[in-house]
Structures are given as C-alpha cells and as structure tokens.
Structure 1
Amino acid sequence: MTLRIDAHQHFWHYQPQEYGWISQQMTRLKRDFLPSHLAAELAAQQIDGCVAVQARQTLEETHWLLSLAERNPEIKAVVGWIDLQQPDLSAQLETCGGNPLLRGFRHLIQDEADPAEWMAQAAIKPAMQTLQQQGYVWDLLVTHRHLAEAALFAAQFDRHQIVLDHLGKPDLAAGAKQWAKQIAPLAALPHVSCKLSGLLTEPRPAGYGANDLLPFVEAALEAFGSERIMVGSDWPVSLLDAEYQESWQFVQQAVSPLTLSEQAAITGGNACRIYRLEDGI
C-alpha cells in the first residue's frame, strides 16, 4: 500500500535572530514547532510520515533536522541546506556523516537580492553537479517573478530530480492561465516535479476563497501530470491561513476528480519515489 506523505513541512526552536523571515505580522509562528506538536495532526489525517525541509541557511540546521529524524520515525527524509558558493562542498557533506535520511538540499533563492543572478552564477555549477551525481534532490524555491530563470537553471542540471516548491508561488491576481504559461518551460523538463504546497498562504485578491485556488491546481496537473506532483502542507507556515486538517481537506478536494491511483501518487507515491523513502510503495 502506498504511504501518505506530507512532502513539505518545517520544524524549529523559535529564536527571532535565527528566523528573520518570520515578520511581526506572523505572530502565530513565533514559538517552537517540533515533531511532538505535529504527531497528532499526522495521525488525524492518516499521514504516515513527512519530509522535513530547512528553514535556516546554516549547516547546523541540516544537522539538527537529521538529529530530529533519527529520533522521530515519522520524519522519513530531510531536505537540508548546504553552501553551494563555497569550494569545500565535499567537506560540508562529510559533516553529515553520510546520513541516509538526508535526501536533498534547498536554498532560499526567493530571498536573494537578485534571485536570477544567484541562479546564473558559475560558482554553483560544480556544486550542483556534485549533489546530483550523489543522488541528492534539489528543492527549488522561487516565486512567479523568476520562473523563466528557474527553468534555465533546472535545464542545466538534469542528472537528478529537481522539485519546485509551492507551485512556484504564483501571482494569484494574474490568474491560473497566466501561471500556466509561466510554468510551462519548467514543466517541460522531465526531471522537474512540483509540490502542491503553500498555495493557501499566498497573497490573495480581495474576496478570493479557497475554491478560487482550484484552477491553479488544475493547471499544475495539466502541466506536470499526476506523476510529477506531490502534496506538502508547508506546516507550520500554513497555520497563517488554515489549520492542518483544512490544508489536507483542500488537497483532497483538489484531487478528488482523479482516479484513486493518481490520488495515491500525489498524496504519497511520488514523494516516496523522488525522495527514495524506504518501503513507501
């Protein structure tokens, strides 16, 4: 039986200086969020496990998430952080001790002063090639403003899987048809998948409800197909807009027109395959 997997969520011990991206308006996020806080939510939604994704750009973050995963079996994989701009990539990887729970990496490209320039720099090319040669997934975090540059970036690195986080953070006001055009170059790359995550917390036009977001899911399904989409709650960031069960109810509604096998792929099978989760299928 295919596992049900939350393919994108975070943990942290909250310290203001460590999480500068948590703004004054995000009061609900200004506390600890740990596996013990998520366990009941996973059980209630019959989720078998999750992928923990970095929220700080330090190697310490990677080590800490791995330590959580070792103590909490519901964490099936870790997407950590590593400094691609430094020449000591192998030494950084060695500090992780070859931990089998480390399945990928991410950089907060969206927060760079110039995301397009960051993706285009020659210095990160050998590092990305090394990560892909060693079988690590790259989680790609950009907004709709840089999807074209993201497609050029992803096209360079086709030796292993790249996963677009949060549907590329579409401009909801521009509509799903515009987003479909923007996403098409990325979707055309067979090694790129897409996380159905973060959509509920994107800035919405006045009067926009959850049902108004469904055309974006439909566009993602048309672009990537059910075999290259996975579900992630983006918990606890998702709590800014919805409770955990509401996030999953939205997903269930969005994929309900699909066959049971397609739904199973999106809610777990694809995450198991792409992040190589043991006994996942």
Structure 2
Amino acid sequence: MTIDAHQHFWQYNPVRDSWITDDMAVIRRDFLPEDLEPVLQQNGIDGCVAVQASQSLEETWFLMQLAQAYDIVKGVVGWVDLTAADLRDQLTDLAQHSALKGFRHVAQAEPDDFLTRPAIVKGIRQLAEFGFTYDILIYPNQLKAALHLVREVPEVNFVIDHMAKPYVKTGEITRWSNFMTQLAAQPNVSCKLSGLVTEADWQHWSKRDFFPYLNFAFESFGPDRLMFGSDWPVCLVAANYTQVKTLIEEYVDPWGNDVRDKVFGTNATTFYRL
C-alpha cells in the first residue's frame, strides 16, 4: 500500500485560517477528500494520513468523520489539549475511534521552550498508554526542545514533520543538522520527507536545492524511519502534487525498490498502524 503520510483537509475559514497569507491565496478555499482522490489516483498513491491544521477538537472530529466516509483517508493525526485536567478521559474516549492514530500541536507557532514545559511533557507521556503517536511540527530553532522531549518520553513514537523545516532557501545546513543528528540517534523518532518545497524559493527552486538535506536525512535516520508526505494542499503555493512526489521518488530511486516501498508506504503503515 502506497501512502502519503502528511496532508490536510479543511473548509476554509478566513478567521481561523488567517495563517494563509496573501501570497498563499491559491489555497484560500476548501480542500476535501473529493479534491484529493483523483490526484492520488493519478500519482499511484493508495491512501493518506490527514493531519490537523488548527487547534481544536472540532477539527479532530471533522477529520475522523472524513476517514469514516472516504476510503483514501487511512488515518488521522488530530489535536487535543495536552494540558487539560481531564486529558486521560478525553484520550480514553478518542481511542475508541480506530481512524485516530496520533496528535499534533502547531508548536512552530509557540515559544521555543514549548515542548520542554512539564505540562506538555506530562500530556504527551499519557499518549503511550493508548498507543498514540506524536507529530512534532517545529522550526530549526526549536530542535533543542524537541530533543529534550523525545528523550524524556522514550515510550512514545515521534515523527518530525517536514524535516523540521530546514533552511533550504538560504542553503544553510549546520544549525539545523547539529540537533537533527541527535534526534535521529533516538530510536523512537522518525522523520517525514515533506514540506520541503515551501521552505525553498517558491518560484525558482530546483531539485538539487534539496539534496544536501535529503542526503543528511537518509544518512541519519536510515530508510526504515523516513516517510513520504506531500503536505498537500499547502505544497500548492510552490509546486503541484506530482512535482512533490517526483522530487522524493527520483531521489530514492537509486536505492532500489525495497527502500522506495518503505519510504512510500511501509514505514508510514507501521508507524501509524494503518
């Protein structure tokens, strides 16, 4: 089964979705499974993991409803208030829904120490009891906090979204790679090969812009802890779905079919229990 491990659905709301700025106007509309399904078919992808884009339980339930209604939605990464006094009760309820695989918070919009806060660490630790995963969405300056988190909670399986958004546009690598090396050394951490085109020059990127970062990811995480994600529809500000898939597909091609199958399906299926 081929899997896109990272994409989003939403019914556009200009207030809630104010993060979609004027230069991203192409995605200021609804994006639903009926929009994605033909795109996946055209690109030989069997299904996807729908990831939260706003901080609300309402969206979590919305995504789970889509998973029930559309076969292409194989799993959901939702949102829950990790600091809620009744978190365990909420997780007990949510765990009854097989489509829900894990959680995420838009930590990139939080202070750099967000993932080190005791209340957050305590909340994420509770995910282990229910077998939930946790997606880490951060910028490179927050990698130190992410490293603290994954070391504190070895019982939870983590995945770094968008390779922690490396500095593709400027070509800088060291400030990003130093902490990524340490994160990759943690056996409970995987990484998504996703969201790269939006970290480059949207209008003038080339495939070789990404090679240093992809080389590092494969050397550090190895082929068993990497998974393809399109970040559709956000990717559309810089590239279409086929361009995003082809970028990763052509990169992994020399590694052979075994590695390709892992990156484009097996790893995501195992990580998210699809």
Q: TM-score, normalised by structure 2?
A: 0.95
Query: CA-to-partner distance for each residue in 1:180-236, whole Å, 9 max, x for gaps?
Result: 323111001011000000001114499652322122111100010000000000000
Structure 1 position 194 matched with structure 2 position 191: yes
Matched residue, 1:49: 47
Matched residue, 1:232: 229
1:237-248 alignment runs, 5 A limit? 237-248=234-245
Amino acid at match of 1:266: V
Identity of aligned residues (%): 40
State the shift of 1:176 in Å: 3.8
SS in 2 for 1:51: strand
Matched residue, 1:20: 18
**Contact 1:177 1:219 (8 Å CA) reproduced:** no
State the shift of 1:93 in Å: 2.6
**Contact 2:202 2:237 (8 Å CA) reproduced:** no
* Structure 2 Cα separation of the partners of residues 206 and 215 of structure 1: 20
Q: Which one is further off, 150-159 or 204-213?
A: 204-213
SS in 2 for 1:233: coil
State the shift of 1:249 in Å: 0.8
* Structure 2 Cα separation of the partners of residues 99 and 137 of structure 1: 14
Matched residue, 1:135: 131
**Contact 2:121 2:149 (8 Å CA) reproduced:** no
Amino acid at match of 2:194: S
1:163-242 alignment runs, 5 A limit? 163-172=159-168, 173-204=170-201, 208-242=205-239
Matched residue, 2:65: 67
SS in 2 for 1:52: strand
Query: CA-to-partner distance for each residue in 1:61-85, whole Å, 9 max, x for gaps?
Result: 1000000000001100000000012
* Structure 1 Cα separation of the partners of residues 230 and 203 of structure 2: 23
**Contact 2:12 2:28 (8 Å CA) reproduced:** yes
* Structure 2 Cα separation of the partners of residues 155 and 95 of structure 1: 28
State the shift of 1:149 in Å: 1.7
Amino acid at match of 1:150: A
Query: CA-to-partner distance for each residue in 1:243-270, whole Å, 9 max, x for gaps?
Result: 1111111111111121211111011100
Amino acid at match of 1:34: L
State the shift of 1:147 in Å: 1.0
Query: CA-to-partner distance for each residue in 1:66-114, whole Å, 9 max, x for gaps?
Result: 00000001100000000012111123235536101100000000011x1
State the shift of 1:129 in Å: 1.4
Matched residue, 1:268: 265
1:28-39 alignment runs, 5 A limit? 28-39=26-37
**Contact 1:76 1:101 (8 Å CA) reproduced:** yes
**Contact 1:82 1:105 (8 Å CA) reproduced:** yes
Alignment partner for residue 259 of structure 1, among 256, 262, 273?
Answer: 256
- The alignment of Structure 1 onto Structure 2 pairs a total of residues equal to 273
SS in 1 for 2:23: coil
Matched residue, 1:11: 9
Q: TM-score, normalised by structure 1?
A: 0.93
Alignment partner for residue 155 of structure 2, among 159, 165, 177?
Answer: 159
Amino acid at match of 1:89: L
